């Protein structure tokens, strides 16, 4: 099977991603554009509860979603007792079961007493009630014991989730000292669940290039590449680093998780034939952290022009909000979790009486606790009629959809990874020619100040946010004029980024790029694999 592109067949690319593909515009654009450039593309993702189909096509690229059982994602502590609190149950599931079991027993005893009084009456009823006394006493005593053990279980789980607890810190450091970068095998064995789900599908496809998106797929891709090399194929590995793993916020219930991901990434970072990432700043950081021989190529998360034959009926943002053209609308596109700072947009509305805000996010009306929190806060402030949660549109419709707003907002908080790149929404707002209101995270704040396309406010500062919004709404054309600068938007297109990605693919295989020029030779030896380990 080959690509339908007029460029002609150039090789098979298997892209790996640890999500359901829907909502991940970067992988969708990469798959489509690679197929358009003549590569035969298979995009392997993960089937989840929202997946409507296991297979579909993005242009000439084929998407296949895999079922990923995750028994190893459950922490070992969920199956065993702990000497820290020996009377705790082995698992919270067992604790909940025992509590409910005792409640059911007590409910049954109560039903029998009531039934005896209603249906029996007199001496038989009294005898029946008296006969229950030992069982009631036993149930009461056992209920107290079960509640105590259940409380011990909760206290144990709280202690196990505390990253500052000496026992937890000692355990992590012990595994790191004993196994080094291999310590993730003990700290987070759940990473093996991805390997076991993907390996068969990858090996069956026999790819020429494996494109591993983000850090979880790096190890999966590296092992698949090694198996292919062992079988005599010259499969190449490209790692698409979406973020800096060391800058990710850890999980509050599991202090082992982040050290495991850092170790996992460090172990496999030496394997790729080429690395691409999302910004110059992150490229430098990855090269320094992992001792990469070459600086990663930068492929921005830029918007894509509508593909040929795409549906041209773009939803109307203002109509969905129920407002006319004269009403000021601030738009935010993306996830609405707390670190994204979205609540400040709601908090500001009492100070901006004419303004509406639109949050364009995945699953806005479903089981999304963060969306619900925004709604609840809007009700508390009396501004619910000016807060609108809207669903995602197709990725090529994003720019015209957003262009109906008056300004695009990025209220993101200071986190290590938030400082490193022009994130997708920044570039989408730019192509929509929106004035941008952005918090003072490093890269985006520097860019907004340099181009003049927006106002920068101090992250999490409500007063300064209101100031910035008023500034852009008072003189929007001043900020829109920045987009007239020659070359600014042209460099921020997906078409330009797709050419870079194609050059990376061509380079690692040593074949001509789509434009016809033969790329530089791959940095990997043709006949064998030489891996260089990072000095740590």
**What 3-state DSSP class applies to 248?**
coil
Asked whether residue 533 carries a pLDDT value surpassing 80, the answer given is: no
Q: Residue 312 has which token pair?
A: 């041209």
- Note whether 11-72+182-298 and 317-486 share their fold: yes
Alpha helices, H only, 239-352: 257-268, 280-290, 317-321, 343-347
| DSSP label at residue 309 | T
Q: Would you put residue 432 in left (φ > 0), alpha (ψ -120 to 50) or beta?
A: alpha
Share of the chain above pLDDT 90, in %: 63
Query: Tokens in use for 406?
Result: 């008056």
Token pair belonging to 47: 């089937």
Please give the class, per CATH, of domain 317-486: alpha beta
The structure's pTM equals: 0.78
User: Could you state, in order of their start, the residue ranges of all structural domains in the chain?
Assistant: 11-72+182-298, 83-159, 317-486
Q: What is the pLDDT of residue 78?
A: 61
Matching residue, tokens 């009630």: 129
Say which residue, 455 or 116, is predicted with more confidence.
Answer: 455
Going by pLDDT thresholds of 50, 70 and 90, the confidence category of residue 121 is: low
Question: What pLDDT score does 157 carry?
Answer: 77
d(CA 135, CA 163) in angstroms, rounded, equals 44
Count of CA atoms in the C-beta half-sphere (13 A) of 96 = 4
Q: Which residues of 407-427 are buried (b: 16+ CB within 10 A; e: fewer)?
A: bbbbbbeeeebbbbbbbbbbb
Least trusted range by pLDDT, from 89-103, 304-318, 515-529 = 515-529
**Rounded mean pLDDT of 102-124?**
79
How sure is the predictor about 518, in pLDDT bands with cuts at 50, 70 and 90?
very low
Looking at residue 447, its pLDDT comes to 94
- Residue 475 has a pLDDT of 96
CATH classification number, 11-72+182-298, choose in 3.40.50.1820, 1.10.10.410, 3.40.50.2000, 3.40.50.620: 3.40.50.2000
Summarize pLDDT for 329-374 with one digit per residue, the tens.
Answer: 999 998 898 889 999 999 999 999 999 999 999 878 766 788 889 9
Distance CA 255, CA 159 (A): 11
Which has the higher per-residue pLDDT, 415 or 268? 268
The C-alpha atoms of residue 330 and residue 158 are separated, in whole angstroms, by 40
Buried b (16+ CB within 10 A) or exposed e, 495-523: eebbbebbbbbbbbbeeebbeeeebeebe
Q: What is the pLDDT of residues 485-501, one digit of tens each?
A: 998 898 899 999 999 99
């Amino acid at each position: 099977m080959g690509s339908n592109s007029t460029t002609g067949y150039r090789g098979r690319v298997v892209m790996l991603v640890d999500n359901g593909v829907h909502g991940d515009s970067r992988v969708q654009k990469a798959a489509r554009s690679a197929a358009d450039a003549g590569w035969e593309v298979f995009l392997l993702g993960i089937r989840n509860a929202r997946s409507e189909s296991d297979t579909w096509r993005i242009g000439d690229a084929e998407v296949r979603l895999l079922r990923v059982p995750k028994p190893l994602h459950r922490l070992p502590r969920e199956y065993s007792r702990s000497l820290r609190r020996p009377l705790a149950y082995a698992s919270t599931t067992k604790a909940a079961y025992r509590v409910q079991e005792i409640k059911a027993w007590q409910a049954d005893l109560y039903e029998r007493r009531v039934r005896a009084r209603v249906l029996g009456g007199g001496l038989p009823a009294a005898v029946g009630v008296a006969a229950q006394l030992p069982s009631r006493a036993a149930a009461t005593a056992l209920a107290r014991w079960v509640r105590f053990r259940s409380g011990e279980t909760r206290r144990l789980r709280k202690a196990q989730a505390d990253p500052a607890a000496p026992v937890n810190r000692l355990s992590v450091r012990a595994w790191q000292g004993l196994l080094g970068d291999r310590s993730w095998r003990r700290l987070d064995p759940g990473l093996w669940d991805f390997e076991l789900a993907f390996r068969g599908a990858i090996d069956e496809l026999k790819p020429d290039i494996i494109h591993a998106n983000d850090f979880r797929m790096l190890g999966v891709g590296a092992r698949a590449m090694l198996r292919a090399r062992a079988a005599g194929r010259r499969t190449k590995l490209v790692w698409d680093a979406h973020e800096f793993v060391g800058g990710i916020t850890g999980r509050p219930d599991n202090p082992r998780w982040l050290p495991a991901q850092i170790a996992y990434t460090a172990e496999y970072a030496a394997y790729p034939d080429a690395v691409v990432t999302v910004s110059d700043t992150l490229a430098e950081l990855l090269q320094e952290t992992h001792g990469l021989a070459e600086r990663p190529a930068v492929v921005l998360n830029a918007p894509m022009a509508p593909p040929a034959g795409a549906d041209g009926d773009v939803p109307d943002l203002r109509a969905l909000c129920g407002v006319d053209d004269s009403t000021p609308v601030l738009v935010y596109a993306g996830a609405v979790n707390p670190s994204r700072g979205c609540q400040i947009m709601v908090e500001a509305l009492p100070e901006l009486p004419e303004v509406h805000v639109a949050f364009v996010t995945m699953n806005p009306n479903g089981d999304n606790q963060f969306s619900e929190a925004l709604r609840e806060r809007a009700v508390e402030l009396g501004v619910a009629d000016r807060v609108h949660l809207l669903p995602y549109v197709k990725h090529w419709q994003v720019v015209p959809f957003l262009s109906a707003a008056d300004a695009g907002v990025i209220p993101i908080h200071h986190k290590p990874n938030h400082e490193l790149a022009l994130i997708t929404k920044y570039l989408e707002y730019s192509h929509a020619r929106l004035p941008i209101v952005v918090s003072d995270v490093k890269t985006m704040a520097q860019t907004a100040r340099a181009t003049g396309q927006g106002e920068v406010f101090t992250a999490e500062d409500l007063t300064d946010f209101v100031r910035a919004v008023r500034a852009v709404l008072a003189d929007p054309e001043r900020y829109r004029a920045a987009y007239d600068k020659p070359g600014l938007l042209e460099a921020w297109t997906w078409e330009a980024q797709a050419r870079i990605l194609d050059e990376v693919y061509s380079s690692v295989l040593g074949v001509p790029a789509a434009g016809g020029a033969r790329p530089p030779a791959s940095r990997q030896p043709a006949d064998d694999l030489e891996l260089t380990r990072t000095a740590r």
